[in-house]
Structures are given as structure tokens and as C-alpha cells.
């Protein structure tokens, strides 16, 4: 087990500086253009693939960093560059985490490479969980997967929404209901291979922020996938469902996590790191502006009203990073989130991003409200952190339930 440390080692610092340079030289110059176009920035993704950032090897190295700091460090630097483009670069990672969290070794080795493609032919993947009537309320999920034993195939029908890379992905990971009577415990995850008949893109959403990231509905109409595409395999699923049924009969017992929750739980600190990156970027713009912008014959940072805001912004950013790093270290070292530390990190970092970017706009005044300065875009982008992969309200619910042991609603 790696000791918890707040000091990056030489290799981590080298990777951080490399990522920062890519974010500064490639991502930032393209940010405004792709935000306006509201399209997937394929040229930037390809550049990331060429240098090795958008690749299975890179994310595997960060994911298996024994300190747990590889992924949050990478996320912070890329999202410091721009949230929309960075999400297009890392969005495939959520689907990959879904396979890593629930799949067999064979499934991991087969499908994750197909999610990325290569530098000459980049691909993306999508994780499909939310539905029009089932966002935070995963128990209301309606997408159904039925096993056709004669053909050893699963037949999937339903509509997913808010799917990053939905419809344009090479590989889709879809969460579906296999036993409706078990509620959220009756869910399973499936790989939908490229070119599978019946899967199509529905509405593409025009969003308030992260506009360089593709978000759309995914429609599944009589989608048939081989039995081997059930993540974890049928034997493991049958055992899990049997345990859940026994516990349901006993009206209690240990809670069984469903496939979607396993993925979100593993990714929450990473989302917190994204938020830290956006907050840090806005803070740095505001700090530089406050030191050079003069009013009444002196820089505006000379005024306590501005200086104190900057002090609070930096304090919140550093505190958020520490919560993210703690949760990331705990996760990689098998430490249970006995106080919902993963949710804590996402909650505080997400709320920090919204607060800090709003303060940055205020410090820049009228300039901050225009698209001539990046804080306007950062403020729009920050709103997503308190919404996706579990809203702030859901994080508070998870924390409160974990601390109290009570079924708070």
C-alpha cells in the first residue's frame, strides 16, 4: 500500500508538466472555436492520440498509479486547458471504467482497445446510464435486457439520454434492467459492439457549457448482443441476482451495488479533479487581471474586496484538491469510503468550481461577461460538475446516508 502524500514524485511531475504544456499549447488555443462550433474536436483528439495522451496505455498508467494521484493530476491539467475539449478527450474513460469495474479480464482486453482506436484512426466510447425518466433515480430505469437462451443473446430495448459520445461512439456500454422486481439491484451492464443493428443516435443536445463535448440520446430498438457482451458474465450475474433476491426476502441485509453505481463511485474523485482544473484556470485569469487592471490610479487587487475574494478562491481550490487526492488514494489502495469520501470530494470540488468561476467573472466585471475573456466560458462549463455523475443533492444524500446509516430520502 502506498503511503498518502501531498508531494508528487519526479515521474508524476514530469507527466504533469507534459500535460500542462499540451493543455496550454494545443487545447487552450482551440477552446473558443470548438465551444462556438459545438462539435466534437476530432483534430485535437487526434493530436492527443499522436502524443500518447489519448490512449489506453496512458490511462492505464495513471489508473494503476499506486499513489492514486495519476488520474486526478491528469484531469486537473487537461480541464485547466478547457473543459469541453478535455471532456471529449477523457469522455471515453467513463465507458472504460465501466468495463474495468464490471468486466472480466477477457472483456477488458477485447473492448477497451476498441474504445480508443489509434493515432491514425481515433475512436470514442460512450457510457449510457441516464434515461428521460431515470437520472438520479436509477431505480426507475426502463431500458430492458432480456436473455434469449436459444441464441445466447441479450435483446436490449430502451432510450438513454445525456450520453457523452452517444451515437458517435465505436463502443457503447449500456446499463439495462434484467430483473425489474429487484429495482436498482436488478441492473447489469452490456457492451454494444460497433455497427450493431438497432442502435441509433437520437437528439443531440445543445448545451449551456462543455459545448465541445458531444452529448446525445441513444436509442436501442431490438438491439441484440452476444452473451459474451454481458459485463462480468452470466454466471456472476445469476449469483448476484440470487443474493439480491434472498436479501429482498429478508427485508434487509447488505446493500448490493448495481453496475451503474459501481462505475460512478469509481469516477467521482476524477470528476472532482476536473472541477478543480476549471476553478484553477478561472482563478489564475482573475488573479492576473486583478494585478494589471487599474481603477482609481491603482491595481484593483489593492482593494480588500478583490484581494479577499482571491484569497477565498485559492483556499477553496486547494481544499478541493486535497479532498480529491485523499479519495483517489483511498480508492486505489482499497480503503472503503466509510464517510462517503468519494462523494465528499466531488461535492466540494463541484461547488467550488461554480463559486470560483462566478467570482472570476465578477472580478473581471464587464469584461468577464464577454466572450473576449475565457472566464465566461469557464463559468458556463462549471455548471455541469454539480449535475452529471450524481448531482450535488445526490452527493449530500449519499454522504448523509453513509454517516447516519439511515435511509434518508
121 is written with which cell numbers? 484512426
Question: Cα(186)–Cα(193) distance, rounded to whole angstroms?
Answer: 23
Q: Please, which residues have CB within 8 angstroms of residue 10's CB and are 6 or more apart in sequence? A: none
Question: Cα(379)–Cα(402) distance, rounded to whole angstroms?
Answer: 31
Question: Cα(322)–Cα(186) distance, rounded to whole angstroms?
Answer: 36
**What is the number of residues in the chain?**
409
* Numbers of helices and strands, H then E, in the chain: 14, 11
Catalytic status, residue 389: yes
Q: Please, which residues have CB within 8 angstroms of residue 84's CB and are 6 or more apart in sequence? A: 31, 34, 35, 41, 209, 210, 211, 212, 213, 381
- From 47, 131, 351, 389, the catalytic residue: 389
C-alpha distances out from residue 192 to 115, 168, 172, 363, 384, Å: 11, 13, 5, 47, 27
Beta strands in 8-105 (DSSP E): none
C-alpha distances out from residue 85 to 82, 314, 356, Å: 6, 24, 20
Question: Cα(193)–Cα(25) distance, rounded to whole angstroms?
Answer: 35
Cβ distance 94 to 267 under 8 Å?
A: yes
Cα 287 to chain centroid distance, Å, stands at 28
Question: Cα(128)–Cα(92) distance, rounded to whole angstroms?
Answer: 11
Rg of the chain (C-alpha set): 22
Which positions are annotated as active-site residues? 389
Amino acid at each position: 500500500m502506498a503511503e498518502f502524500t501531498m508531494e508528487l514524485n519526479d515521474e508524476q511531475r514530469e507527466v504533469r508538466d507534459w500535460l500542462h504544456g499540451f493543455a496550454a499549447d494545443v487545447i487552450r488555443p482551440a477552446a473558443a472555436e470548438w465551444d462556438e462550433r459545438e462539435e466534437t474536436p476530432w483534430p485535437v483528439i487526434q493530436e492527443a492520440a499522436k502524443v500518447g495522451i489519448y490512449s489506453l496505455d496512458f490511462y492505464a498508467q495513471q489508473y494503476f498509479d499506486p499513489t492514486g494521484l495519476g488520474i486526478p493530476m491528469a484531469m486537473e491539467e487537461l480541464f485547466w486547458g478547457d473543459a469541453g475539449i478535455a471532456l471529449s478527450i477523457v469522455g471515453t474513460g467513463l465507458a472504460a471504467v465501466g468495463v474495468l469495474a464490471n468486466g472480466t479480464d477477457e472483456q477488458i482486453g477485447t473492448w477497451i482497445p476498441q474504445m480508443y482506436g489509434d493515432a491514425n484512426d481515433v475512436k470514442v466510447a460512450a457510457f449510457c446510464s441516464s434515461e428521460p425518466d431515470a437520472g438520479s433515480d436509477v431505480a426507475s430505469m426502463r431500458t430492458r435486457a432480456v436473455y434469449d437462451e436459444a441464441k445466447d443473446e441479450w435483446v436490449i430495448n430502451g432510450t438513454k439520454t445525456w450520453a457523452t459520445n452517444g451515437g458517435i461512439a465505436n463502443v457503447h456500454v449500456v446499463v439495462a434492467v434484467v430483473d425489474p422486481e429487484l429495482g436498482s439491484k436488478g441492473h447489469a451492464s452490456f457492451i454494444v459492439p460497433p455497427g450493431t443493428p438497432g442502435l441509433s443516435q437520437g437528439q443531440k443536445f445543445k448545451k449551456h457549457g462543455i459545448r465541445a463535448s458531444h452529448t446525445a440520446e441513444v436509442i436501442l430498438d431490438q438491439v441484440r448482443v452476444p452473451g459474451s457482451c454481458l459485463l462480468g458474465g452470466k454466471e456472476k450475474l445469476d449469483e448476484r441476482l440470487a443474493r439480491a433476491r434472498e436479501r429482498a426476502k429478508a427485508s434487509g441485509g447488505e446493500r448490493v451495488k448495481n453496475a451503474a453505481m459501481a462505475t460512478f463511485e469509481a469516477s467521482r474523485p476524477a470528476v472532482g479533479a476536473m472541477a478543480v482544473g476549471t476553478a484553477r484556470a478561472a482563478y489564475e485569469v482573475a488573479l492576473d487581471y486583478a494585478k494589471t487592471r487599474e481603477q482609481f490610479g491603482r491595481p484593483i487587487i489593492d482593494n480588500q474586496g478583490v484581494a479577499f475574494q482571491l484569497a477565498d478562491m485559492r483556499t477553496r481550490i486547494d481544499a478541493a484538491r486535497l479532498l480529491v487526492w485523499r479519495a483517489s488514494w483511498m480508492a486505489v489502495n482499497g480503503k472503503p469510503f466509510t464517510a462517503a469520501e468519494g462523494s465528499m470530494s466531488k461535492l466540494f470540488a463541484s461547488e467550488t468550481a461554480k463559486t470560483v468561476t462566478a467570482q472570476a467573472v465578477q472580478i473581471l466585471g464587464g469584461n468577464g461577461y464577454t466572450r473576449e475573456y475565457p472566464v465566461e466560458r469557464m463559468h458556463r462549463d462549471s455548471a455541469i460538475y454539480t449535475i452529471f455523475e450524481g448531482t450535488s443533492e445526490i452527493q449530500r444524500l449519499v454522504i448523509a446516508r453513509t454517516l447516519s446509516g439511515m435511509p434518508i430520502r
